[in-house]
Structure 1
């Protein structure tokens, strides 16, 4: 037994080795952390295109130009296509050196009472339920964006499905981000402008029955506007979006 099995296409420089291609303006984008087509390989490609520019996008991985319509890579690609020039102004190319904030949850609790609240959010049962609902919606949208699946399961149970693009609609049935809070309802997300709206219902003993929320997924400082409704009436809450 031989392991690993040798590939029929071993790694190597671009072929043909002495090849030189068209002088059309060419943009070569590499992700700094890309282990599939590395920045070093981007340099090899640049050497074969006489009218090219090679930019390495900081803290990025594979398919830099397809990371979303508002991403740095997409912005650079649009400039070259629209202008017909590979000479990108510094004010635009600067984004390749910037490392955007990584938006992530602090932890994945088993129960909603352990949910981590955003700074400045009062610690109440009602608010924990609201934050859990918002986190559930954010988790579904982000996982779908990364995997592109037609349907899937919640972290701790339940199922969801999606339809449409760029206005994406998700249907949730008993989806659990935490083990004791199944959520049913819908999420709409506009992949072009980042606007998200969700309406999620769930059974609890606290009197809360439904959470409606809106926020923008592109803005790293976005505030989620939340309406909590149930047996105790309706309440409004604003918190830092996940």
Structure 2
């Protein structure tokens, strides 16, 4: 009986030492692994800060990387404790596949949002044209981008479509050319008309001096000689220049006695 008890004690002592060492190893792995994860996150955060990534993207990616590394750390600890981790990996893979299939559209929008935030084809405040919409970028989110149209309507564009389509960014260069067409009568003096129109452009304070504005004959139409009036402005002043120059050209041409043609109708009366 005493021998049996001694054997039991020796057996349980051996088991306790074995599991104690495994638990101690798991604790050491957890401490070292957590320290490494923190260092990795700090390093990635510094790289993102240097690349000037969007704050929301930084937080999301850091959380995603952090959780991924923690899952790997937990699997390593379970393996250290002698627990079979193959089934856990299979369950995680199956769950990831199921979630991916269920959220296919959302994940494509998420991927598009990540690409937009990394490559930065535009930023908040830029005037862009994409997916048939024109407006100023109000907010860039993970799944969608919000744009405010010239009529002050908020337009929400999915990032998947936005990242895969053509994007025209009018703000990148900081200057926009305003395209206007002004028609005058065939009786008008071309040189005088150009001088009058160019004077309007150079007198407007919102028209940029560089690049210099230009006025050129663009078309000999059916009832008018058309002039291509091309002032440049900042993005913020675009509409002010567009509407202001149109009005000022009409007034200046009237003051100079230069006729702007308009449609004429001829009535023919046939007498019996």
TM-score scaled to structure 2, two decimals?
Answer: 0.28
Greater share of residues in strand? 1
TM-score scaled to structure 1, two decimals?
Answer: 0.30
Asked which structure has the greater RCO (Cα within 8 Å, sep 6+), the reply is 2
Greater share of residues in helix? 2
Larger Rg: 2
